[in-house]
Structure 1
Amino acid sequence: MRLISWNIDSLNAALTSDSNRAVLSREVIDTIIEKDADVIALQETKLPRKGPSKKHMEHLAEYFKGYSYVWRNSQEPARKSYAGTMFLYKDKYSPEVFYPEIDVPDTMDLEGRIITLDFGEFYLTQVYTPNAGSGLKRLKERQVWDEKYAEYLQNLDKEKVVLATGDYNVAHKEIDLAHPQNNRNSAGFTEEERQGFTNLLDKGFTDTFRHIHGDVTDVYSWWAQRAKTSKINNSGWRIDYWLVSDRIADKIVKSEMIDSGSRQDHTPILLEIDLQLEK
């Protein structure tokens, strides 16, 4: 079974814009399609409140032939065309879809951040974790999110095994970013956020990349757009993850980044695992 996750940073733009960045995004989509994944998870879709427009749907049908999709978008009073997630899965599958709320502060439950699919034998869930923000202004709310989200995954895991993915907006260990000393109090590398991720793993989940690759360094999933040379210099962070229930860690076959070429920001991440999807 092959699965891909990607914070696309605007599916809206990737499908409808002719900007240089949108062109690069479509090149990454082409790369993803070549992988022939069973399921594709997208974060930060930034679609309208009502969901994909007719134009969006036409392009989705063009780029993702043979896939069905479900989405979740930001709703009032959360910001318009903000955050959002989407699952695409091969037409032969028909999972049950859930749009959970986890009782978190502010408008976080209304920002379209979690979708869960029930494939019968296991859950597949994705998340776009809230950023602690400039000046860490949302750090306290983020700590509550981390606690509530960990409880949510733990409860899923009590029912059946879980595959969880997404942009977790945290570099867990010093080896997960290029310059840890310079980012001690930066959003995504505070002690609070790192501990929140540790607490999540301690509830029975395996970081599949570390399970396969150990303490390898210099492998990242995100490079800041604002620093023009961040990707050239590999000044990146690993903040995107595939997690699985500990008890199926032995079924992990592959967990790696997918090359996104010259496009900065997030790169897609791939998981191959020896599980059978229920059709």
Structure 2
Amino acid sequence: MKFISWNVNGLRAIVKKNFTDTFEKLNADFFCVQETKLQEGQLNLSLSGYHQYWNYAQKKGYSGTAIFAKKPAINAKYGIGNDHFDSEGRVITLEYPDFYLVNCYTPNSQNSLNRLEFRLEWENAFQSYLKKLDKQKPLILCGDLNVAHNNIDLKNWRTNQQHAGFTTQEREKMTQLLSSGFIDTFRFLHPDEIGKYTWWSYRFHARDNNAGWRIDYFIASKVLYAKIIAADILSDIYGSDHCPIELDLKI
């Protein structure tokens, strides 16, 4: 099965940049997007052969997630069952016979770390949610998790310490997640590969210079490690300040 995840930074905008052509070429079994930035009824997206699952933020033009799946889910859940976090359209969970698929857009800590406390509260609640799912059946978590875990995961790590997405607290939360029975699939297959990023600032020609961050992930339950065929970063695909990422599983 092929899984794709992409923070599109505005689905209505990227649809005007050949999104559907890219979607068709990738031919994924599951295509997860984050930061859709729209409300129900604002976009009629025709994707033949796919079931569509949407989670909209209450705030207009903000956040939002969607999953496009070739196979219908047994169950679909929107949010994590916590009213404090579920108004921003950040999580969709699809249940299938052998696994859960969780699409997530993690809150950004923002400039001056104005939202770091909220982010850390989110991490605790979200990890608790994931662990409960994992006890029932294996899961695949994907999305923009808004953290570069290790120094190797961003170009300019020395000058970005304690900046949003690279604070000690956020990195420790990722370590905590991976230590509780999950795998960073890209690093599992490419433990030492450098220069592989998924997000670049629009400023200072960052993408041209590959001055990026790896903040988009496929995280899988450890029991799935033998089923991982490939985990790739599709940095040659444009249209957003993020690029898509891919996971191939024999499942």
TM range (shorter): over 0.9
Cα RMSD between the aligned structures? 1.5
From 21, 37, 40, the equivalent of 1:30 is 21
- CA deviations on 1:168-197 (whole Å, 9 max, x unpaired) are 000000000000001002100000000011
From 207, 215, 234, the equivalent of 1:239 is 215
Going from structure 1 to structure 2, the CA distance change for 1:263 and 1:235 (only over 3 Å counts) comes to: farther
Shift of 1:96: 1.4
Q: How does 1:36-55 map onto structure 2 within 5 Å?
A: 36-48=27-39, 51-53=40-42
Residue of structure 2 equivalent to 1:96: 75
Shift of 1:262: 5.1
8 Å CA contact 2:80, 2:126 repeated in 1: no
Q: How does 1:1-279 map onto structure 2 within 5 Å?
A: 1-15=1-15, 22-23=16-17, 26=18, 28-48=19-39, 51-53=40-42, 56-57=43-44, 60-61=45-46, 64-75=47-58, 79-90=59-70, 92-103=71-82, 105=84, 108-225=85-202, 227-261=203-237, 263=239, 265-275=241-251
8 Å CA contact 2:237, 2:244 repeated in 1: no
Shift of 1:264: 5.3
Identity, in percent, stands at 39
Answer with 157-166 or 264-273: which moved more. 264-273
- CA deviations on 1:18-59 (whole Å, 9 max, x unpaired) are xxxx42xx2x542332121101001000112xx133xx22xx
Give the SS at the match of 2:100: strand
Going from structure 1 to structure 2, the CA distance change for 1:113 and 1:211 (only over 3 Å counts) comes to: same
Give the SS at the match of 2:86: helix
Give the SS at the match of 1:265: coil
1 CA distance for matches of 2:218 and 2:249? 11
Give the SS at the match of 1:103: coil
Amino acid corresponding to residue 87 of structure 2 in structure 1: L
Give the SS at the match of 1:130: coil
More helix by share: 1
1 CA distance for matches of 2:41 and 2:195? 37
1 CA distance for matches of 2:222 and 2:192? 18
Going from structure 1 to structure 2, the CA distance change for 1:176 and 1:130 (only over 3 Å counts) comes to: same
8 Å CA contact 2:8, 2:240 repeated in 1: no
Going from structure 1 to structure 2, the CA distance change for 1:268 and 1:29 (only over 3 Å counts) comes to: farther
Give the SS at the match of 1:109: coil
Give the SS at the match of 1:171: coil
- Uncovered stretches (5+) of structure 1, i.e. residues with no partner: 16-21
8 Å CA contact 1:150, 1:203 repeated in 2: no
1 CA distance for matches of 2:80 and 2:137? 19
Shift of 1:102: 4.6
Shift of 1:263: 4.3
Residues paired across the two proteins, number? 251
- CA deviations on 1:238-277 (whole Å, 9 max, x unpaired) are 00000110011111000011134454510000000010xx
Give the SS at the match of 1:40: strand
Amino acid corresponding to residue 234 of structure 1 in structure 2: N
8 Å CA contact 1:223, 1:264 repeated in 2: no
Shift of 1:237: 0.2
- Uncovered stretches (5+) of structure 2, i.e. residues with no partner: none
Residue of structure 2 equivalent to 1:18: none
